[in-house]
Every structure is written in C-alpha cells, then in structure tokens.
Amino acid sequence: MIEIKDLAFSYGSSNVLRNITMKLEAGKIYGLLGENGVGKTTLLTLLCGLKKLQTGSIDIDGYNPYERNPLFLEELFYLPDEVAPVNDRAIRWARETGKFWPEFSLDKFDSLMSLFEVDSSLRMTKMSAGMLKKTYICFALACGTRYLFMDEPTNGLDIPSKAQFRSALLKYTREDSTIVISTHQVRDLENVIDPIIILDTRDVLLNASIEEISSALYFDYSQTLHPDSLYSEQIPGGFIQVRPNTSALESKVNIEALFNAAHRNKALIKDIFKPL
C-alpha cells in the first residue's frame, strides 16, 4: 500500500504539487494523467525517493522513499521518459545491472527482448531511440519488483511495439505489484490502466477505478447532443459525450473523453469522486 498525505512540493517559488492525498493499492496498474506541468514526473520521483518531500508524507509499506533503504530499493524500479544509451551489449548490461534486483531474471529479459523484436547482442549505443526505449522496458519488467513507476513508456514506440508493451505489462508483472504509469498517450493504454488518477495543478481531481467511473458517469455515443453533457466531441456518425450517470446505465469508459470532461468541470468531478 502506498499512502500519500498532504504532499506538497515546489521548485523555488513555483508550487507544483499541493494538498496531494491518496492511496495506491497493490495489484493494480494506475494510469497517472494530467496536463503538462502539473507534477506527474515530480510525483514519480518523490515516490522513488529521488526528491525530498517539503511537506506531507509518503509511506510505501512502512518505508520512507527518500531514506533510500536498500531493502526498499531492491523492490522498486523507476523508468524515466528519457533513457541513456550505455556502451555495452544489451544482454551483458542487463546481466550486470540486474544484480541489484534480487528477482531479476535474465531469461525473462531475453524473452521480452524477443517479444519486442530487439537483438539483445546489440550495443545500446548503436540502437535507435525506439529500440533503446524497448530495451529499458524489457529490463524494467524483468526486475520483477513490487513497485514499478514508468514515465511515458510508450513515447517513441511504433504501433506494433505499443501492442507488445500492453501484452508484456500484463504477462510479466507480479500480481502483487503496484504499478504507476504517467502518460499522455491514453489510447495506447486504455485497456490496461485501472484505476485512473487525474492530477490538476496542485490537486487530485480523481482517483477511481474504471468500475467507479462508469457507475458515476455515462459515456454516450449517439447522434443527439444532451444538455447535461459535461463534455462532447464530434466523431464519425455522431458524438461522444460524458454526462452524469443518473439512470445506472452501463457504458464503456473513454479515458480521453473522461480527461477532457474532468479538465472542463474540475470542481464537479472532484466532488463526484471525493473519497468517502
């Protein structure tokens, strides 16, 4: 369990995060959404202890991330958006670097590299940006950690690789892992991430499961605009609309439309999904 209470962080006089309180449970893949600059990357680096909290607390199963306890670090992997090439063959780099994670499996790494169609004998300095990103994804999944934080993992991936990523994420992660994925590419991960977290400037608008979202909001695909819609967008054949689910109807959650509805109705969305 990850518990965040009254978290605040600023860069100088610029407040990035404020009043962040939420719980993240084991066995779930959280999608962390938000506009540029709302603090998604900052939150991830705070969770893995790369930055020090200024106000509030983060408790990850009894650990304070910033203390960098070795027992905590061996159960954590953070994949940043930008990754650096290493002047070594991928398989040798993975073998040596993987020693820092007790559950790391070189066989799993090799299987993942095959899934992503990347030659593990290549030097990482000779790889394209997409191949390098896939190599780091393979390593992250092969570490078998309880906590996995990924910042824009599908950036730079081609269409087949995005499908491979979804498959690998579901197949190669532990059932008790807490996974947090920051992304702007919601369509890449729409069938994978659940629950959904939407950050606003210095606040959490929503932290809810797909089931909770579909119970509270109705995603309407029709040719008629409804006056109570929180958000509507024209699509071929009609509109996609998000409106309060006052009749307990079932619908498929459209995460992109959800984000836009939340962005336009911040106070209302926060009130609908406020913790009990």
Which residue would you say has higher pLDDT here, 224 or 77? 77
Q: Within this chain, do residues 142 and 221 fall inside the same structural domain, yes or no? A: no
Q: Within this chain, do residues 200 and 213 fall inside the same structural domain, yes or no? A: no
Q: Within this chain, do residues 225 and 197 fall inside the same structural domain, yes or no? A: no
Q: How many domains does the chain have?
A: 2
Q: Within this chain, do residues 134 and 246 fall inside the same structural domain, yes or no? A: no
Which of 171, 191, 206 is the last residue before a domain boundary?
206
Whether the per-residue pLDDT at 58 is higher than 90: the answer is yes
Give the pLDDT confidence score for residue 232 in this predicted structure. Answer: 94
Q: What is the pLDDT of residues 178-198, one digit of tens each?
A: 999 999 888 899 889 999 999
Kindly compute the dihedral angle of the four CA atoms of residues 227, 229, 233, 236, in this order, to the nearest 10 degrees: -70
Least Cα distance to 163 among 172, 175, 154 occurs for 154
Q: Within this chain, do residues 100 and 154 fall inside the same structural domain, yes or no? A: yes
Least Cα distance to 29 among 209, 198, 161 occurs for 209
Q: Within this chain, do residues 54 and 116 fall inside the same structural domain, yes or no? A: yes
Q: Within this chain, do residues 264 and 148 fall inside the same structural domain, yes or no? A: no
Of the pLDDT bands very low, low, confident and very high (cuts 50, 70, 90), residue 276 is low
Which of 156, 187, 206 is the last residue before a domain boundary?
206
Whether the per-residue pLDDT at 275 is higher than 80: the answer is no
Residue-by-residue DSSP string for 124-175: GGGS-HHHHHHHHHHHHHHT--SEEEEESTTTT--HHHHHHHHHHHHHHS-T
Q: Within this chain, do residues 85 and 213 fall inside the same structural domain, yes or no? A: no
Query: Look-up: residue for tokens 């990347």?
Result: 118
- The overall average pLDDT reported for the chain is 94
Q: Within this chain, do residues 48 and 160 fall inside the same structural domain, yes or no? A: yes
Q: Within this chain, do residues 42 and 146 fall inside the same structural domain, yes or no? A: yes
Q: Within this chain, do residues 170 and 142 fall inside the same structural domain, yes or no? A: yes
Rounded CA separation 4/57 (Å): 6
Q: What is the pLDDT of residues 231-255, one digit of tens each?
A: 999 989 889 999 999 999 999 999 9
The percentage of residues in the chain with a pLDDT greater than 90, rounded to a whole number, is: 84
Q: What is the pLDDT of residues 80-94, one digit of tens each?
A: 999 999 999 999 999
Give the pLDDT confidence score for residue 112 in this predicted structure. Answer: 98
Q: Within this chain, do residues 237 and 156 fall inside the same structural domain, yes or no? A: no
For the domain that residue 147 is a member of, what is the CATH number?
A: 3.40.50.300
Which of 180, 206, 232 is the last residue before a domain boundary?
206
Helix 106-115 to helix 159-172 angle (10° resolution) is 150
Helix 106-115 to helix 129-142 angle (10° resolution) is 140
Rounded CA separation 126/45 (Å): 29
Q: What is the pLDDT of residues 116-157, one digit of tens each?
A: 999 999 999 999 999 999 999 999 999 999 999 999 999 989
| Segments forming the whole domain that contains residue 108 | 2-206
